[in-house]
Amino acid sequence: MGDISTPLVRRDAAAKASGRATYVADLNLENVLHAKTVRSTIAKGEIFSVDVPPLPEGCFVVDHRDIPGENAVRIVFKDMPVFAERRVNYVGEPILLVCGPDREAVFAAAAAVRIAYREEPPTFAWTVSGNRHAYAKGDPGRAFDTAARIITRTYETGYQEQAYLEPQGMVGYPEADGRITLVGSMQCPYYVRDALLDVLACGEDDVRVIQAETGGAFGGKEEFPSLTGAQVAVAVRKTGRPVSLLYERAEDVEVTTKRHPSHIELSAAIDADLRVVGLKAKVGLDAGAYLGLSGVVLSRALIAATGAYTIPNLSVEGDAFLTNTVPTGAFRGFGAPQMFFAIEMFMGHVAALLGADPIAFKRRHLARQGDATSTSGTFRDPILADGMIDRVLELSQYRRKMKEYRKSGAWKGLGLSVFFHGCGFTGDGEATHIKARVRLEKSAGGVVTVRVANVDMGQGASTALTKIVAATLGVPFADVIFPHPDTLLSPDSGPTVASRTTMIVGALLARAAERLKTTWIDGEAQTVEERYVQPDFIAWDEERFRGDAYPAYSWGVVAVEVEVDRRTCQVDLKGCWAAYDVGKTIDDLLAEGQADGGITQGIAYGYLEKMEIVGGRLRQKNLTDYVIPTASDVCPTETVFVDNPFAFGPFGAKGLGELTLVGGAPAVAAAIENAIGRRVAKIPATPESILELIEHGKD
C-alpha cells in the first residue's frame, strides 16, 4: 500500500458525472403531496388572522396546530419555531405548508392564503444581545495603561450565501409500521433526527433520517434541514402520505441561513519595541431573528481574536445580536472568516502606522509551538507558518512584484494572510455533546461497510474515510463501501461540521479498522464499534472560556494578486498561491479540490459576493443578483500542502474543509489596498466601495 495521500478516483464521481446519482429532487415518490411554504411578508408583528381558501380534494394545510410535541427546532438553542404561531420575526418566516397532489392547485391555494398582521416596529440595529461571551488573558488593563501607543480600528464583513448548486430539499413518507422516514439533502442526519423527537414527541424508533446525495452544503445544510425535516415530518404525520418539500432557488436564497455579518473593533497596546503586547476585541455578529447556533459561531470568532499571533494580554468580548432579519447560521469557517479578516487587516494597518513591513511585523508576532493560545491553552504541535510564509512569498514573487508595481504606479498589488482553523468542536464538545460512535461491518465475503453519520456533500468524505479504513485494514479500496448515512443503520458519529470528519471520525474509523484487522476471521461476518475518547490533555472551561479550545490547529498562508481597473474599479484576480498544513492529506486530489474551492469562496467573500438587507428584506434574492464567481472570474491557483503529522489524527491528518476559505478575504483585501493605496476595512470590497475609497478613503 502506497502513501495514503496518493490520489485515487473518488468512487461517487462516475455516478455524479453521468447523471445517475440521485439527489432528493430526483426521487419519485408515489402518491406524493407537493408542499409549498407560506411565509411572513413582514419583519415583525403578530399574526392577526390566517385565511385559507377552500382547499380542493386531497389538499392540506399544515401548521403549528398539527405539531404533537414542541413547536421548536433544536439547533443548539431551541428558539426557532417549526411554524410561526402567534408572532413572526423576519420576512420569510414559515407560517404554514400547503400540500397537495396537484402542484397547480397547491400553487394557487398557497397564493390565495391571506394573512393579516399587526405590524410592530422591527429591530434592525444591533441592540438586543441574544448571546454574550467574554474572556481575558494576562493583564490587559496594565498593558493598555502602560502602552507606548494604542491603535484602534473597526472592521465590517457582510452576509455570505452558501449558494450550493443544489437547492434545499426534504421528502418524507410514512412506513407501514408507523415510522416516519425522511430523505433529504443534509449534513447531519442525527441533528434532523433529534429535532424530530421533540417536535413529534416520539421515540427514536419512530423516525428515520436518510441522507440523499447532497449537492453542496458549506454549512448551509447543517442546521436548516432540521427545520424542513420537522415541517415535513409533521406534514407526513398529519396526512399519512409522502410529502415533498423542495425549495426553489429564489426561496432558498431568501430564507435559509447565511454567514453572520460582523462588526469588529480591535485595539492594540503597543510597547516601546513596537510589539503588540495587548489586544482588546469587541465583536458583534448579526444572528438574525433566532439565535440557533449563533452562540457557537460567536465563540469560534472570539477564540480567533488574536489570529495567528501570540499576544499575551487580552480582553475579548462579543455579542450575537437578534434582529428582525433572516436567521444566520453555519457557513464554512463559522466565525473564523470574520475574525481573521479583522485581525489580519488590523495587523497590517498597525504595521503601516508603525512604519513596519506588514509581513515582517506579522512574523514577529507569529505563534510558535509551546505558546499559550488566546484562551490560555497551549499550541502543543509544531507551527510551520513561518516556513509557509517563505514558501508563499517565493511562489508568488511577492517582494519583486510589489516593488515593481509601486514603482510603476499601476493599480496592481498583492496581499498575504496568515491564519489557522481550530479543528473539531470547541473544547469538550466532542466528549460532552457528540460522543461519537462508528461501526465497521464486515460481511462473510470480506466486504467492509463503513457506518457513520458523516455525509459526503462533495468534499469527498466517503472516499477519504473509506481510504483510511482500507489502508488500515490493508485491503483494496474496492472492498470497503460507504453507504449514505441512515439513522436506522448508522451510529451517531456526530455532524459533518467543524472540520472534524477526517480528523475525529477518521481516527475512530482507523482505530476500529485496527481492531477489525487484529480480530479478522475469514469467512465470518464481524462488527466492530469504536467510541470517542477525549485525549486527556484537552481541558476546557466553558464558563471561563479558558483552556484548549481545540485539539488541533490547521494552518494556512495565502497570497493573492489583483489588478484594479482605473476606469471601473473592477478587481481582476491575477493569481493565488497558498500553503496549507493539514497534518497529512488523505488524498491529494481531494485536498486540492477543497483548497481550490475554499479559496475561491474565501476570496469572493472578500471582493465579490454582496448581500444587503434593507428594511428586513434581502436585496439580492437569487443567483442573478447574488454574484458568485464563474469560471471567468477565477485565477490560476498554486497550492502546496506541508506535512506536519498530528499524533491523534488518522495518518496524521487534521481538519481541512474550512481552513482554505478562511484566508481568502484578508489576502484579497490586502491586495486591493496595495493596488489602490487606500485602506480596506470593509468587505466585500466591491467596485462601488473601491470607488468610494478612491474618492474619500484613507491611505
For the bound state, the minimum distance from the C-beta of residue 249 to another protein, rounded and expressed in Å, comes to 4
Alpha-carbon gap, residue 416 to 184, rounded angstroms: 40
Extended strands (E) in 238-386: 243-246, 262-270, 276-288, 313-322
Nearer residue to another protein within complex by CB, 248 or 394: 248
Closer residue to another protein (CB): 180 or 661: 661
Nearest approach in angstroms of CB 569 to another protein is 8
Nearer to another protein, 14 or 360 (CB): 14
At 497, list the grid cell: 461540521
CB of 588 to another protein, least distance (A): 9
Of residues 250 and 372, the one with the C-beta less far from another protein: 250
From CA 56, how far away is CA 106, in angstroms rounded?
9
Q: How far is the CB of 239 from another protein (least distance, A)?
A: 19
Smallest gap from Cβ 605 to another protein, in A, equals 12
CA–CA separation, 339 vs 347, rounded Å?
A: 12
CB atoms within 10 A of CB 1: 12
The CA distance from 343 to 362, in Å, is: 11
Report the candidate in 577, 636, 626, 622 with the shortest Cα–Cα distance to residue 604: 626
Q: Which is nearer to another protein, 645 or 687 (CB)?
A: 687
Minimum CB separation of residue 608 from another protein in Å reads: 7
By C-beta, is 166 or 381 nearer to another protein? 166
Rounded least distance, CB 597 to another protein, Å: 5
- Give me the amino acid identity at 475: V
Whose Cβ is closer to another protein: residue 538's or residue 578's? 578
CB of 585 to another protein, least distance (A): 12
Toward another protein, which CB reaches closer, 292 or 684?
Answer: 684
Residue closer to another protein (CB basis): 15 or 148: 15
CB 453 within 8 A of CB 491: yes
Nearest CB to another protein, comparing residues 103 and 114? 103
What SS3 state is found at 304? coil
DSSP, residue by residue, 538-560: --EETTTTEE-S-SEEEEEEEEE
Residues 509/450, Cβ–Cβ less than 8 Å: yes
| Least spacing, CB of residue 449 vs another protein, in Å | 22
Tell me which residue has cell 514558501: 391
Write down the least CB distance from residue 653 to another protein, Å: 18
- Shortest Å, Cβ 664 to another protein: 10
Helix, strand, coil percent values for the chain (each to nearest 5): 30, 25, 45
The residues that bridge with 283 in the sheet, in sequence order, are: 264, 318
Of the pair 71, 462, the CB lying nearest another protein is at: 462
C-alpha cell at position 642: 506541508
SS3 65: helix
Q: Please tell me whether residue 228 adopts helix, strand or coil conformation.
A: helix
Of 612 and 643, CB closest to another protein: 612
Q: Which residue, 102 or 529, is less far from another protein as judged by CB?
A: 102
C-beta separation of 95 from 50 below 8 A = yes
Q: At what angle do helices 588-607 and 664-676 cross, to 10 degrees?
A: 50
**Of residues 278, 318, 287, the one with CA closest to residue 302:** 318
Q: Give Dmax (Cα) for the chain.
A: 80
- Residue 1 or 111 having the CB closest to another protein: 111
**Nearest 5°: CA angle at 254, between 93 and 34?**
70
To another protein, the closest distance from the beta carbon of 616 in angstroms equals 15
Tell me how long the chain is: 699
Tell me whether residue 2 or residue 523 sits nearer to another protein (CB atom): 2
12 vs 218: CA distance, rounded Å? 19
Residue nearer to another protein on the CB measure, 439 or 621? 621
DSSP for 455-505 reads --SSS-HHHHHHHHHHHHHT--GGGEE-PPPBTTTS-----S-TT-IIIII
CB of 167 to another protein, least distance (A): 7
Three cell numbers, residue 318: 462579543
The phi and psi torsions of 116 (rounded to 5 degrees) equal: -105, 135
Nearer to another protein, 26 or 357 (CB): 26
Q: How far is the CB of 216 from another protein (least distance, A)?
A: 4
What strands, in cross-sheet order, belong to the sheet with 313-322?
A: 129-137, 313-322, 276-288, 262-270, 149-157
Strand stretches in 595-676, DSSP E = 613-614, 617-618, 637-642
Closest approach of another protein to the CB of residue 333, in Å: 15
**What minimum distance in Å lies between the beta carbon of 185 and another protein?**
10
Best CA proximity match to 211, nearest among 180, 231, 190:
190
Shortest CB 18 distance to another protein, Å: 4
Buried b (16+ CB within 10 A) or exposed e, 668-695: bbbbbbbbbebbbbbbbbbbebbeebee
